[in-house]
Structure 1
Amino acid sequence: MSIVIIAIIAVICSAAGCYAGYSITSKIVRNKKAAILKEAESAGEMIKKEKILQAKEKFIQLKSEHDRAVNERNQKLSQSEQRAKQLENNLTQQQDELNKKIREQDSVRERLQAQIESVERKKEDLDRKIKEQNTRLEQISGLSSDEAKNILIENMKEEAKTEAMTYVNEVMEEAKMSANKEAKKIVVQTIQRVATEAAIENSVTVFNIESDEVKGRIIGREGRNIRALEAATGIEIIVDDTPEAIILSGFDPVRREIARLALHQLVTDGRIHPARIEEVVAKVQKQIEEEIVEAGKRTTIDLGIHGLHPELIRLIGKMKYRSSYGQNLLQHSREVANLCGIMASELGLNAKMARRAGLLHDIGKVPDDEPELPHAIIGMKLAEKFKEKPEVINAIGAHHDEMEMNNLISPIVQVCDAISGARPGARREVVESYIKRLKEMEDMALAYPGVMKTYAIQAGRELRVIVGSEKITDQEADSLSHDIAKKIQDEMTYPGQVKITVIRETRSVSYAK
């Protein structure tokens, strides 16, 4: 019993202790809760302030963007207003100009109307005078105008019928008589067209040598001989592994012939050095000029043409070294001259004059200065200058329809020129355009101040420009090569690339007396 009582007392004491502990714990919790609430309120206040600040910054940013957009819109509106004002001014100006043109047109219309009225009045006066004359004629003849008109018409009908029948009979008789002759003429022209030589020019000449030892002498020490020969002739000298041969390359046949003859004389003589090369080239150039004149004289004698001016004879000889669409110009001109003589003789015209016009028809392709005019007009001017007959002059100028024909020789020359150029193998367009391009390239560089000579070599892939040392410095030579290359690149059409080489050489010459 006592033990139970003791246990109950212990339980009661334990419960009382627990209650006291609980009271203390509840108070601590309440204090922490108050502290947490206070801290939460403080944190909420801070967050509130931050959000307010962020809202204010966002508002300021949006306001700034809005202001900027408004300014840009205002600026665009201002520009649009300015463009509208400018457009309005332009329209006003155009309206003023249009009004001015309308006033001018009204003035012109008024003048034209006045002229028309004046013409109408003159026409009425003329009609009135014609009626008076007709009335007077009717009174004199005793016939009315209708009766006189009918009589005249009947007489003209009968006369026209008679003449028409006579003309038809004459044409038929002439056709029967000339049919055999026309057939013969066609056969002769056909034979003449296909029997001649097809002379196709090229741009390379092969110079044969006895042994390859000569190549070294032609090249010279450090290449000075071959450079001097190329500078003097304007021809590219190609010394390669080809046995016993040297290739001369250039588009101008005269230059190639000069280089070939000069090389022949130099190799035969054995003395090959720059001074000797220049002397031989000058001598050969003079020799070629004499051969040109001799070729012209032989051509005129063969064709039976006399009385030509010496300058025309020289130009005819020069045709030997020129080509037209790949066709040798002298051969072409001789062929045209023979065709013209045959055709003119069969038509009963002056055969000598026809041959003369046929020989000279392309003389405008070989002048020394070669101005920028059609070759037919150049040839016509040359013929006028050297006192040729008007028929010959007109035939030369009109053979490509550059001017109107006024005699029967002109169409004959035109037709024979077409026959000669149209036969198989006569012409080749590629060679002609190639030579023309190289000539334009040389002339383009020659137009620069200080340039003495220009040579297109290596089939147009290189242009050598020789300048005077006293006119152009080394720095100017560099600039000149760049300028020429730029001009060729801008103004010409060519395959691949073109190398521009400017050569400036200083020479000192003294004489021992």
Structure 2
Amino acid sequence: MSFEQTLGIAMGAVIGACLAVLIYRRRVIRLQESERLKCDVELREAKLKLREEHNEMELELQRKQTENERMLASRENELTVRARDLDRKAEHLKEAENLIEQKNKEVSREQRLLDDAEHEAEKVRRLYRLKLHQITHMDENDARQLLLRSTEKECAQEIADLRRSKLGRSEAEVNGEATRILLAAMQRITSQPMNDATATVVSLPSDEMKGRIIGREGRNIRTFEHATGTTLMIDETPDSVMISCFDPVRREIARISLEALLKDGRIHPASIEEQVAKAEEEMRANVIHLGESALRKLRLHDVHPEIVVLLGKLHYRLSNNQNTLAHSVEVANLCALIASEIGLDPAIAKRAGLFHDIGKAVDEDYEGSHAIVGADIIKQHGEDSRVVNAAAAHHNEVPAESPYAGLVMVADSLSAVRPGARASSIDGFIQRVRSIEEIAAAEHGVSEAYAIQAGREVRVIVEPDVIGDEEARQLARTISRRIENELNYPGSIEITVIREQRYKEMAV
């Protein structure tokens, strides 16, 4: 092999080695670049994951804060209830002290009466001795006159009982006729039982919508609550939110607005205000339609537009789950039927029955009971004075000035206690009546207790030898307080304590 060949081979080897080194370096650089790019991608993914975890932690923190606020409000309510219970117990102790003091006074008074009775008995004994002495010196006519006078005194009670029985028979005939009229009116009217729900729950397509409803930093939910005047309760209940508000009309506007927002998909402050404005217009039209429908059903006219709006709002207000507008229409029909039976004007009676609860539809700007407020409103819009008085007096807050007030009271009670009118199961009704009777019968000195008028009145019969007049009055107050503290019931319950003494003699 020549020198040139060897040199060429050596130079080729060197050049190949250099090329191999260059290729290796390029591969290393390429690997380093790919590793750097991979690290950058992993870094960006880690940052995104960290940001998502941060957002989830913020949402969880807001949820826990809301839950803590709710628990704090619940604790405050419990403390308030306990404070009321302590005040009530203090009042009961004070009443017990007063009762003991009254007992002591009664014992002292009874002792004085006993002393007076002994003194009177001594006088009577002396008087009888004197009369016996006089009788021994009487002739026949004087003895007959004395016998007649004594017989008249002895029969005075029997004469009074006979008079009472005659009057009672007449009163029973009147009550029977009144019962016949009421039954005739009730048989001529038919109504469907009310099953309206009181809670307003809106379903969501998914739980992700809860975050969109809340919005960034809570802007959406604050805008919604401010625009509708309601409170959105978002908790762990899946795929639903609850709308809470005392005003049922505002609650319905909030429901319509929220459903429209969910359907549209755009949830931000501007769209929220737009949907709330549309819902308010829709609600106003619906309220007017409901009020006019009630008037057409009753064939009434010449009603002010503001009264029509208030009538429509009654549709969204419930009383013990009984729709107030349907209740008012039913009372109006009952009033008209009874009025036609007893010779009164059915049109006036119908208007009085329809407008008697109109005060329940007004907002908090008015002060006073719904009966007084409703009477003032219909008076301002030119209603008949008899209709105004019937609306104001149907809860005995003002004196009744016409028979129409009594008609409204009767019809209102009939509509309220009609089976199926209010959300009360037969088992719950039976249990409530039984509890009322048990509370009354558990008191000392009570012989019998009966709950009547669908549980709206309880009549308590006491033993007259054990319970005196003052004790009977105190017993009625005690039973009233126990029923208020231990039972839940619609309306009011009247407690009547009956203390009766009967004297019998046997003539042989």
Q: Higher relative CO (CA 8 A, sep ≥ 6), structure 1 or 2?
A: 1
TM (norm. structure 1) is 0.45
TM-score, normalised via structure 2 length:
0.45
